[in-house]
Structure 1
Amino acid sequence: MPRPPSTSSPDPPPAEYPLPFLTDPTATTPAPTTTLPYRLNLHPISRLTIANIFAFAAVFIPTTIRTAHISSLIYRAENAHRLPETKGDWYHYHRAKNHYAASRGLAEGFRKAGGVCGYVSLFLVVEGGVDAWKGGVDFVGTVVAGGVTGGVFSVLRKLPLPTKALVVKKGLWYGFVYGVAQDVMLAMRGERVFWIDPFVRRGREIAMRGKEARSGAVGATGSAGAGDSADR
């Protein structure tokens, strides 16, 4: 008698089973995605946010303090010919002076800090764009970002041509130094960097040769000792 077909349901697919295959038999397995290593071990969005926060604070605080102090002196100089005489007038005088200094200081601080944050964002965006276009992370993207940022700064500031060339040159140089430092950090984390790999391979070869030489010397010494014992 033939065995009746089993009515039990098949085993459920594993948790990692691709769900599109359950409904679309013609679907193909997606190709594995490769991601670039993070610079400074930070996600690009996190790096952009942290860099802008530090840049804003580093420019806003000293600029606001200095501008407020200078504005206070300017207010005193402009009103030196009409100093108050009563206690109430002195109160209004200092209140107006503090308001003038604070408003000028905050306005200048926000203006300069916002400009610096714009340049920092431009630098990081260009750096990440070059890395994505090249398909690798190295100092080339940082050098390009430094040159582009220096060029944009020169154009916006309407600097003369010799000064523009000097600013772009400094941007390229600072980008090179910063990029090399980032490459060294990537290599220390175990990432592959095209210009550091030859040095790493050479160092490993030298270390292996030294290890083999030491092993051979130890083996030869042991064999000689065993031969002397047999002769005795």
Structure 2
Amino acid sequence: MTRRDRPTREEWTPTREEYAQTWKESRLSIPPFIRIPAAAVAAFGIGMCLGLAHGSKMAGLRYRAEHAHRLPTTTTGWYLYHKSKNYHLALGGLKEGMKNGARLSILSTAIFCAENLFDVYRGTRDMFSTVMASLAVAGGFSFWNRFSAAETARTARKGLKFGLAYGAIQDVMSLAKGRPVGYIEFIRRQIGKATQLEEKTT
């Protein structure tokens, strides 16, 4: 490719109308290059908060159990006991928070990326792409963790419920914004064809 054949900066840069149209047609009115990183950050924050609460609680219980047979008997001993306990609470909560945050962030990123891939492949944005993405990630998660058949089925059910709920919410918001929804448009076309046939026969 010669220098003359290469696209110029103006050809690569979208116009303001194209940029606005991208925002309008995207899920939740947020383009994928913003929606996916934002979902990953939000998921990490939620997982971090949940992990901090659960991890610090478990670390506190574990510390109490490990030191139940040698409780301090002096004021200084109790001060050091609680100081050490608070350190273990913070460390345990931080470790569990980072672990949960990273896990939830990876799963959320995978679901949103798969959802976008299904949207592009199918040429439409609706609940079915969300459901397929959730089931695909649930299956991959089960395979990675080597779940049993019962655990895999339970994980798939959770993925299906999440996909249906989240997909339905997005579809309702799309209809409210005036964006086309795949299966709704299909139903409307079928009703329109049926109406035309009735008018022709009468």
| TM-score between both structures, scaled by the size of structure 1 | 0.65
Which is greater in Rg?
1
Alpha-carbon distance between aligned partners in 2 of 1:201 and 1:165, rounded to the nearest angstrom: 35
TM alignment of 1:74-153, pairs within 5 A: 74-153=62-141
Q: Which residue of 2 aligns with 1:161?
A: 149
Alpha-carbon distance between aligned partners in 1 of 2:165 and 2:138, rounded to the nearest angstrom: 15
The Cα of 1:35 is off from its aligned counterpart by 5.4
Which runs of no fewer than 5 residues in structure 1 stay unpaired? 1-22, 25-29, 207-232
Question: Per-residue displacement from partner, 1:8-51 (whole Å, max 9, x unpaired)?
Answer: xxxxxxxxxxxxxxx78xxxxx8x98959210111213222332
The Cα of 1:95 is off from its aligned counterpart by 1.5
Percent of residue pairs bearing the same amino acid type: 32
Which runs of no fewer than 5 residues in structure 2 stay unpaired? 6-10, 196-202
Q: Which amino acid aligns with 1:94?
A: H
| TM-score between both structures, scaled by the size of structure 2 | 0.73
CA contact (8 A) 1:187 1:196 kept: no
Question: Per-residue displacement from partner, 1:40-86 (whole Å, max 9, x unpaired)?
Answer: 11121322233223322322223212321232232122112222233
CA contact (8 A) 2:50 2:100 kept: no
Q: Which amino acid aligns with 1:110?
A: M
Q: What is the number of residues matched between the two proteins? A: 176
Alpha-carbon distance between aligned partners in 2 of 1:170 and 1:84, rounded to the nearest angstrom: 47
CA contact (8 A) 2:22 2:31 kept: no
- Greater fraction helix: 2
Alpha-carbon distance between aligned partners in 2 of 1:108 and 1:60, rounded to the nearest angstrom: 8
Cα RMSD (Å) of the superposition? 3.0
Pick closer, same or farther for the CA change 1:169–1:94 going to 2, 3 Å. closer
